[in-house]
Structure 1
Amino acid sequence: MTSSSPYDPPAEPRPPRLDFDRPPAHPGTAPVRPGLRRMRRRRRRTVLLAVALLVAGAGAAGVTRLAGPDLLGRHPLAADPSLANGTGAGSGSEPRGYPTAGTGSFAAADGRSPVRGDDGPLRRYRVEVERDTGQDVDEFAATVDAVLGDPRSWIASGELRVQRVPEAEAADFTIYLATPATSEGMCAEGGLSTERYTSCRLPGRVVINLARWMEAVPDYGAPLEVYRTYVINHEVGHEFGELHQACPGPGAPAPVMQQQTYGLDGCVANAWPYVDGVRYSGEPTDGV
């Protein structure tokens, strides 16, 4: 129910209706204006042309019945099963064969890696992948092992070592591969907003967004493997105490702690914290 105002002014008189589609009340007593004849002829031609086009299009598509209201889009787009389920082209709900939301349940990789690095404290990590995402947990773990054990990664400092372990109680931190919806919820627990787009790190928890793992980001300018290496080193770098850094200048390699997911700012893609055996970095920024 809607409320009414205490005072409704009287309606103003309406001007006489000019209905050019209605013939005179007494044919022959009022001549039809030449302009009206031309307008009627144009309208008839337009209607006939539209009908002819619809019939031709229907015949080409193999449609045998034309229903006026249906031509105006009586049924919503969601009536198309591919669009309703988020699998149609351009829908974005299930892009390129991977889910955007999952069960929130994870499978952990078995086994342990060798200890990588020459000296320093040992940082143990565990690897988990969200179930039913089409991603193999052992394959993901092997990629993480290869990145963190590379001599261009964080162990190049000579001040820490890394090892993957299967037991949760033995791990200093866990690296998760999660769907955009699940990763958003996990990151939000620490007050971080990812808009289902970025990855994040919380104390003891590195969360890699599956969408970024599968697609990287537009205009990154490097193969997917480079972005994957970058995102592991970047988020694990936060776990090791590193803060965000800025691009040193146009054409320079992007520091691994630069937020390359949001753009390179004139730098070129770079996935490693050490370049030519030297720690490569930029000026610190306010972000973490």
Structure 2
Amino acid sequence: MTLATAGILSLGAGLGAGAALDRVVGPQPQASALGVISPDDAREAVGTPSPTPAPAPAEDAAAAGQGLWRVDGSGLPEVPDPVELVPPTPLPAPTPVEPEPDPDAVDADGLTLADREAGLLSTDVPETGSGELVVVPGEQEAPDPTRPVQTVRVEVEEGLDIDPQLFGATVMRILNDPRGWGADGSVSFARTDGEAQHRVQLVSPGTVDQTCAPLDTRGLYSCAIAGKAVINHMRWVRATTEFEDRTQYREYLINHEVGHLLGHGHVDCPAEGELAPLMQQQTVEVAPCVPNGWPFPEVEVPGET
């Protein structure tokens, strides 16, 4: 081997290792101990590497593992026929929940729910009515016929802004309450529109004064006289400042006047802070006692706390 040949081979080996550099920067003349040699001469001496052949198209994309399909579209999976989508059955609309009525809310007529249930149609109070009494029709059996039964007829003065049926129902609810006069087993009340042992009348202030004479009611109070509990319509509507709760006052008013018909007289407040006895004149003054509408207030009522 001549010195020139050895130099060429040595340079060719170096060029083979740096072929990538040759492709990036382009052919450049190379210097050697024998002089300048061109890149073409060097490649001819050491051999030119063959370019990497491009991969043949995959015959089966699955086998090739590339997730590709042939260009001509063959080998694609079969597409199923479109499925007719059935819309889901709509859920029924939720039933709206009615809010609980506020018992203290006042309506456009200035009345609460309790006022309506007591028969009031407005807050109008005539000083004097027609004087004609209308019997509330209908009958109601005594809730406990094993006790002595006493009959009650309910009457309303014509012209008062009152629902007679609701007023009558309120009277009987109060009289037959577990805390009422029948709590000791002495009585149970039945309502009738015929002859009765007791009459409960709702009348105007002027008619109260006429009916209760010689008692001095002065258009302000109610009374019990000659088998009649005469309820002042003004008190049924407005109650009294001695009671904060008009419903409690109405309970007191019915029980107190019917208590007179049963033979009970007035009593005084026993001590400061105690419940007023039912037969205390609470319309006039409750203090130093606490208002009370029942003859037997200590009796527990089912469903109440």
Q: TM-score range by the shorter chain?
A: 0.5 to 0.7
- Report the equivalent of 1:204: 227
Query: What does the per-residue CA deviation read over 1:57-86, in whole Å, with 9 as the maximum and x for residues that have no partner?
Result: xxxxxxxxxxxxxxxxxxxxxxxxxxxxxx
- Displacement after TM superposition at 1:117 (Å): 3.5
- Report the equivalent of 2:295: 273
Alpha-carbon contact 2:243-2:249 (below 8 Å) kept: no
- Report the equivalent of 2:157: 130
User: Following the alignment from structure 1 to structure 2, what is the Cα–Cα distance between the partners of residues 221 and 193?
Assistant: 23
User: Following the alignment from structure 1 to structure 2, what is the Cα–Cα distance between the partners of residues 148 and 260?
Assistant: 18
User: Following the alignment from structure 1 to structure 2, what is the Cα–Cα distance between the partners of residues 206 and 221?
Assistant: 21
User: Following the alignment from structure 1 to structure 2, what is the Cα–Cα distance between the partners of residues 96 and 147?
Assistant: 22
**1:159 maps onto 2:171 in alignment:** no
User: Following the alignment from structure 1 to structure 2, what is the Cα–Cα distance between the partners of residues 207 and 148?
Assistant: 15
Query: What does the per-residue CA deviation read over 1:153-172, in whole Å, with 9 as the maximum and x for residues that have no partner?
Result: 001010112101011x2x00
**Aligned-pair RMSD on alpha carbons?**
1.6
- Pair 1:240–1:138, CA change in 2 (3 A): same
Larger Rg: 2
Aligned length: 179
**1:184 maps onto 2:216 in alignment:** no
1:225 to 247, 259, 262: 247
Letter of the structure 2 residue corresponding to residue 204 of structure 1:
G
- Report the equivalent of 1:146: 173
**1:255 maps onto 2:248 in alignment:** no
User: Following the alignment from structure 2 to structure 1, what is the Cα–Cα distance between the partners of residues 240 and 285?
Assistant: 9
User: Following the alignment from structure 2 to structure 1, what is the Cα–Cα distance between the partners of residues 123 and 162?
Assistant: 13
SS in 1 for 2:211: helix
1:214 to 237, 240, 248: 237
Alpha-carbon contact 1:117-1:158 (below 8 Å) kept: no
**1:121 maps onto 2:148 in alignment:** yes
SS in 1 for 2:159: coil
- Displacement after TM superposition at 1:98 (Å): 1.9
Alpha-carbon contact 1:118-1:160 (below 8 Å) kept: no
Moved over 6 A (4+): none
**1:100 maps onto 2:122 in alignment:** no
- Report the equivalent of 1:173: 198
User: Following the alignment from structure 1 to structure 2, what is the Cα–Cα distance between the partners of residues 237 and 116?
Assistant: 19
SS in 2 for 1:227: helix
- Pair 1:96–1:109, CA change in 2 (3 A): closer
User: Following the alignment from structure 2 to structure 1, what is the Cα–Cα distance between the partners of residues 166 and 220?
Assistant: 23
User: Following the alignment from structure 2 to structure 1, what is the Cα–Cα distance between the partners of residues 178 and 123?
Assistant: 33
User: Following the alignment from structure 1 to structure 2, what is the Cα–Cα distance between the partners of residues 240 and 156?
Assistant: 14
User: Following the alignment from structure 1 to structure 2, what is the Cα–Cα distance between the partners of residues 201 and 149?
Assistant: 19
Letter of the structure 1 residue corresponding to residue 202 of structure 2:
L
- Displacement after TM superposition at 1:272 (Å): 0.4
Query: What does the per-residue CA deviation read over 1:123-168, in whole Å, with 9 as the maximum and x for residues that have no partner?
Result: 101000001111111111010010001010001010112101011x
Identity of aligned residues (%): 38
User: Following the alignment from structure 1 to structure 2, what is the Cα–Cα distance between the partners of residues 159 and 199?
Assistant: 25
User: Following the alignment from structure 1 to structure 2, what is the Cα–Cα distance between the partners of residues 149 and 125?
Assistant: 11
Structure (1/2) with the larger helix percentage: 1
User: Following the alignment from structure 1 to structure 2, what is the Cα–Cα distance between the partners of residues 216 and 245?
Assistant: 21
Letter of the structure 1 residue corresponding to residue 189 of structure 2:
V
- Report the equivalent of 1:244: 266
User: Following the alignment from structure 1 to structure 2, what is the Cα–Cα distance between the partners of residues 258 and 233?
Assistant: 11
Alpha-carbon contact 2:202-2:231 (below 8 Å) kept: yes
- Displacement after TM superposition at 1:118 (Å): 5.7
- Displacement after TM superposition at 1:229 (Å): 0.4
Letter of the structure 1 residue corresponding to residue 275 of structure 2:
P
Letter of the structure 2 residue corresponding to residue 99 of structure 1:
P
Letter of the structure 1 residue corresponding to residue 231 of structure 2:
I
When normalised by structure 1's length, the TM-score is: 0.60
- Displacement after TM superposition at 1:265 (Å): 2.7
The 5 Å alignment of 1:36-75 reads: none
Q: Which runs of 5+ in 1 are unaligned?
A: 1-94, 279-288
- Displacement after TM superposition at 1:204 (Å): 1.0
